[in-house]
Amino acid sequence: MAERRAAGCRVSVLLPLRDAEGTLPECLGSLRRQTLTELEILAVDDGSRDGSRALLGALACEEPRLRLLSSGGRGLVAALNLGLEQARAPLLARMDADDVAHPERLACQVERLAAGPRADVLATAVELGGEPGPGMRRYVAWSNALLAHEQIVADLLVESPLVHPSVMVPTAWLRELGGYREFDGPEDYELWLRAARHGARFAKLPRPLLVWRDGPWRLTRASPRYAPERFRQLKLEALEAGPLRRPRPVVLWGGGPVAKSWCRALLARGHEVAAFVDVHPRRIGGRLQGRPVLDLAAGAGLYGALHLAAVGQPGGRERIRAAALARGLVEGRDLLAVA
């Protein structure tokens, strides 16, 4: 019976969980109602102490597509890699135990991956649920607007452009990439950066096919591994593996907290920060953290430097991109957006 189910299985849904008794019924119900029925649900229990495991055991008696695994409380990454190891289907879809999938989510993603163009990582837009604050609403609006590969990679050093539990990938591709990395930081963001270095193609369906619940219980809010400094570390490592792998001065476009924090981080790692670029008349000609503050023309004239659009205000990156590109800088080669 198990072998017959595996042979017809098109998608393995990787669902790590810990103490999720309150949200599991709705989450699993949304997976059982998928229009794509050739699936398996890999529920990886990571040491739950509530009734999650008993709930899963009872449901497994009536739902043959549910497979209950245990990672022994070793943490999220161990649970993810165990599910990846055990997956039987050619495609792997992520899901969190407090989220809800639209009935057509898996079918739409399978159809898009089959139809092309090529995508190694296919996410969907999401709808917010739970108790989201204004910051999360801004993040989701920004993420939902990044649909094409070029848009996603252009903002890859700003923030994670993909909502992890909305993603579907080829199982063999993720295994070849090495799965999830165990370290003291955001495992999903590290995976996107690593995938990009290996030439992955990204895409996102514009239709919201996942209700993504937010609230104080989320690991992204409660765990220090998702602190801003952890993300900054990964961004710096990505720059040092790419455009800063050889010595090259850096020009920071912006004069606010984001640019200042980037200046400190770059200097701490031994990089040269040549200047800041600003549009404020009272700042131009002065100095910021010991570096000259230049106007747009003078800043863009520093050829050979890596220019970082380092601002946090809405619309700021777009204005910097327009000004820099109008002065001959090429995005991706001379100019990158960071936050």
Boundaries of CATH 3.90.550.10 in the chain?
Answer: 2-226
Span 243-338: which CATH code?
Answer: 3.40.50.720
The pLDDT of residue 222 is above 90 = no
The pLDDT of residue 256 is above 50 = yes
| Residue 14 neighbours by CB under 8 Å, 6+ apart | 42, 44, 80, 83, 84, 87, 92, 93, 94, 95
| Averaged pLDDT, 257-272 | 97
Bridge partners (DSSP) listed for residue 12? 40, 92
Q: What is the pLDDT of residue 221?
A: 57
Tens of pLDDT, residue by residue over 167-190, are: 999 999 999 999 999 998 999 999
Question: Which SS3 state, helix, strand or coil, does residue 221 take?
Answer: helix
Q: Please say whether the beta carbons of 336 and 250 come within 8 A.
A: no
Helix (H) or strand (E) holding 31: helix 24-32
| Averaged pLDDT, 142-146 | 97
Tell me how far apart the alpha carbons of residues 198 and 212 are, in angstroms, rounded to a whole number. Answer: 28
| Averaged pLDDT, 131-157 | 96
Question: Which SS3 state, helix, strand or coil, does residue 154 take?
Answer: helix
* Class of domain 2-226 (CATH, top level): alpha beta
The pLDDT of residue 75 is above 70 = yes
For 129, phi and psi rounded to 5 degrees?
-135, -175
| Averaged pLDDT, 307-326 | 93
The pLDDT of residue 143 is above 60 = yes
Q: Where do the DSSP E strands lie in the chain?
A: 11-17, 39-45, 66-70, 91-94, 100-101, 121-130, 168-170, 202-214, 250-253, 273-277, 287-288, 291-294, 306-310, 335-338
Q: What is the pLDDT of residue 7?
A: 63
| Averaged pLDDT, 65-69 | 98
Mean per-residue pLDDT over the chain, rounded? 94
Boundaries of CATH 3.40.50.720 in the chain?
Answer: 243-338
The pLDDT of residue 197 is above 90 = yes
pLDDT tier at 84, thresholds 50, 70, 90: very high
Q: What is the pLDDT of residue 4?
A: 38
Tell me how far apart the alpha carbons of residues 172 and 310 are, in angstroms, rounded to a whole number. Answer: 36
The pLDDT of residue 5 is above 60 = no
Which among 11, 15, 93 has a CA at the least distance from the CA of 55? 15
Burial class of 28 by CB neighbour count within 10 A (0 to 12, 13 to 18, 19+): buried
Q: Please say whether the beta carbons of 22 and 102 come within 8 A.
A: no
| Averaged pLDDT, 307-319 | 92
- Locus of tokens 């609006």: 141
Helix (H) or strand (E) holding 173: helix 171-177
Q: What is the pLDDT of residue 29?
A: 97
Q: What is the pLDDT of residue 220?
A: 63
Share of the chain above pLDDT 70, in %: 96
Cα angle value 18/22/24 (rounded, 5°): 65
Helix (H) or strand (E) holding 52: helix 52-60
- Would you report the helix, strand and coil content of the chain in percent, each value rounded to 5? 40, 20, 40
Tell me how far apart the alpha carbons of residues 141 and 128 are, in angstroms, rounded to a whole number. Answer: 10
| Averaged pLDDT, 299-307 | 96
The pLDDT of residue 138 is above 70 = yes
